Amino acid sequence: MSLDEKVAQMSGIWNDKDATLVDPKTGAFDIVKARSSFGHGHGLGQVGRPSDAGATLEAPEDGQDARSQAELTNAIQRFFVEESRLGIPVIFHEECLHGQAAPGGTSFPQPIALGATFDPELVERLYTMTAKEAGLRGTHQALTPVVDVARDPRWGRVEETFGEDPFLVSQLGVAAVKGFQGDGTFKNKDRVIATLKHFAAHGQPEGGMNCAPVNVSERELREVFLRPFKAAIDVGCLSVMASYNEIDGVPSHANSWLLRDVLRKEWGFEGFVVSDYYAIWELTDRPDTHGHHVAADKKEAAALAVRAGVNIELPEQDCYRHLRELVESGVITEAEIDELVRPMLEAKFRLGLFDDPFVDPDAAEAFVGSAPNRALAREAGQKSIVLLKNDQGVLPIDLDITRKIAVIGPNADRSLLGGYSGTPPVDVSVLEGIRAYVGTRAEVLTAEGCRITIGGAWNLDDVELPKPGDERELIQQAVRVAEDADLIVLALGGNEQTAREAWSRVHMGDRTKLDLVGAQKELVAAMLATGKPIVVLLFNGRPLAIPEIAATVPAIVECFYLGQETGHAVADVLFGDVNPSGKLPISIPRSAGHLPSFYNHKPSARRGYLFDDATALYPFGFGLSYTDFEISDARVRSPEIEIGDATSVLVEVTNTGQRVGTETIQLYIRDIVSSVTRPVKELKGFCKVTLGAGETTTVELPITESSLAFWRIDKSFGVEPGDFELMVGTSSRDQDLTRLNLRVTD
């Protein structure tokens, strides 16, 4: 390969495909543009998001459907195979956060909702289906999963994560990688390369502001933020995306300790590192968002990224345009380029692109958005729902006595997909789902009640808040509707504009407060004044502080974002066809002033506040059911073990209620005395069990050496002898846990 051909493999295009590969109006391949732009024959590394060819920010649905994307990727692929000197195929990457973000793609619940399932098997099935939908359309790499540990709810990207706990995030991240990559052979074009992001520590930015510095020690970095990445690398994940933030003054895209010493040398990673979009540019200064100022210009930024080990620059040919010049001037060597290109070529061979890089448009059209995919989306939505409160037996709703239901609120009849969403084949609102469920058995009334924002979308910059006078009128209309109903379903929370990725100075999504935006509190008060029973449904990308609602409303359901089947999944739970089984993957704080609120804090934290409670409003792992479970006869199989040995905790779980239900038994561990401070409890195991009324089963949760190990005072990873407290139960809350003892000896 010539130097130019190697450099071409280290570059991608995304927005520039309008100018270089496709007709921007139709998204169709343009051979004249392609020959004009790539007639040099050097080839190209990647093409980003072919599904959005022909789309605009205002009309993302104008992109490529399954058939047209397959045809487009085939045409682009044929050009690079036939009209570059070496015929090296390109990799097409797509956003697949919760289904491929494309026209017609099945839209599953957001990862924060999937975190609430505590169900790795479901997550693996879901991403297996996502991989097949994407792969049949011509995609080879998914810029997913996000395995950031979310430790600041002010951050607008919480919805993209599996939650606040490193063990849970690790388990679900591994499941996602297995779903995307399968056995890693990529034989049937129904699997894609998974991309772990954002490496590393993106989930606890200073002030909760996206891309801000992350101020953590190396020990905390390793124990909290790196753990999910290591777990996913261990099962063969082939790609990693570096993060926008800095750690200890070093931006990740220039951090050779992170990308070379830890990722490659310590962990044995043999895949390739992709840059986050425009992040190499940000090593110098990117005026529309921010800059790290560790490079004087884009040329220096490119050199820093190469030395750190960033294999390819995404999304456009930008800083890496200077690589030839940097080699010729001796700043970097061609051997350094070779080292970075090699794993990307290996990936293309592994994908089978040199043998057959084309896909079948008929197969794509038949499978994408099909009935089995829709059924899985509905199942995932059902299992993501968390019941937070159910006083007075309000839920499930009994249609024999409830003849009129008022479905009210700003999220009652709104698309609620969250960020990085395409245009799914269906998108069922809460109102639509309830109407479809009840049919003629009850009358469904509706009113908007108030608005969170006026119109708008996740990808559009401007966020317009409603006028208070208009909101008062909407609330009065809602009261008139509610007074005529037997029960009120109140759909509140946030929307895609109030919690989202803040990617520029004019596109914000992080917040200083966690309370409900707009007149939602006033709407709740007005509904309570009617005296009617109320069920509050919360839809949001981040935890919201709702102390007043928690104190006054009898039934509260946390939904996060449930995907295209939102309305159906909600109705299935509200009317009792499905017993809710979700558990909070992230603590719900009492206010922003209570942050941090994550459960696995150190012993000296959370001592208390003057005039306030220091605990979470609803803790990690919490979630109710329509039935009751009893945990009994907790015991340790071997209460004294030597370092290196294993044991387990066993409990009897009984469904003491009147209906089938699913409970998640959780195991937490605390090292009582240690060489460095340890959290008061850490999740180390969980198991979901489904039991009929009166049924009992034995649950066994293993404890291995890794369950007890930590980064000791000498920064070695291992187990210290001594006493450990084991806690087993139904949430991280102390009153939900039974405590046992374990002794570990040399």
Annotated active-site positions, please? 276
The letter for the amino acid at 462 is D
Residues in the chain: 746
For residue 703, which of 679, 727, 738 has the smallest C-alpha distance?
727
Contacts of 723 (CB under 8 A, 6+ apart): 672, 673, 741, 742, 743, 744
Contact (CB, 8 A) for 26 and 19: no
Q: Annotate 207-250 with three-state secondary structure.
A: HHCCCCCECCCHHHHHHHHCHHHHHHHHCCCCEEEECCCEECCE
Q: CA-CA distance, 5 to 44, in Å (whole number)?
A: 8
Contact (CB, 8 A) for 177 and 194: yes
Burial class of residue 372, CB neighbours in 10 A (0-12, 13-18, 19+): exposed
Q: Annotate 507-520 with three-state secondary structure.
A: ECCCCCCCCCCCCH
Contact (CB, 8 A) for 211 and 289: yes
Burial class of residue 733, CB neighbours in 10 A (0-12, 13-18, 19+): middle
Contact (CB, 8 A) for 155 and 205: yes
Contacts of 47 (CB under 8 A, 6+ apart): 12, 13, 14, 17, 21, 73, 76, 90, 91, 92, 93
- Between strands 250-251 and 246-247, the pairing is antiparallel
Give the torsion through C-alpha atoms of 154, 237, 279, 90, to 10 deg.
-140
Could you tell me the CA-to-CA distances from 13 to 91, 278, 348 in Å, in that order? 11, 11, 17
Tokens of 33: 């543009």
Tokens of 353: 């692109």
- Ramachandran angles phi, psi of 664, nearest 5°: -110, 110
Could you tell me the CA-to-CA distances from 426 to 70, 379, 744 in Å, in that order? 21, 15, 54
Contact (CB, 8 A) for 160 and 110: yes
- Ramachandran angles phi, psi of 160, nearest 5°: -80, -10
Three-class secondary structure of residue 662 per DSSP: strand
For residue 559, which of 402, 568, 67, 69 has the smallest C-alpha distance?
568
Contact (CB, 8 A) for 196 and 229: yes
Contacts of 103 (CB under 8 A, 6+ apart): 51, 55, 60, 61, 62, 63, 64, 65, 422, 423
∠ CA 208-211-214 to the nearest 5 degrees?
Answer: 65
For residue 384, which of 104, 666, 126, 128 has the smallest C-alpha distance?
126
Tokens of 632: 């009994």
Q: CA-CA distance, 8 to 166, in Å (whole number)?
A: 37
Neighbouring CB atoms inside 10 A of 81's CB total: 18
Q: CA-CA distance, 683 to 323, in Å (whole number)?
A: 46
Report the DSSP beta bridge partners of residue 661. 691
Burial class of residue 401, CB neighbours in 10 A (0-12, 13-18, 19+): exposed
Contact (CB, 8 A) for 713 and 676: yes
For residue 408, which of 459, 354, 371, 449 has the smallest C-alpha distance?
449
Write the DSSP symbol of residue 594. G
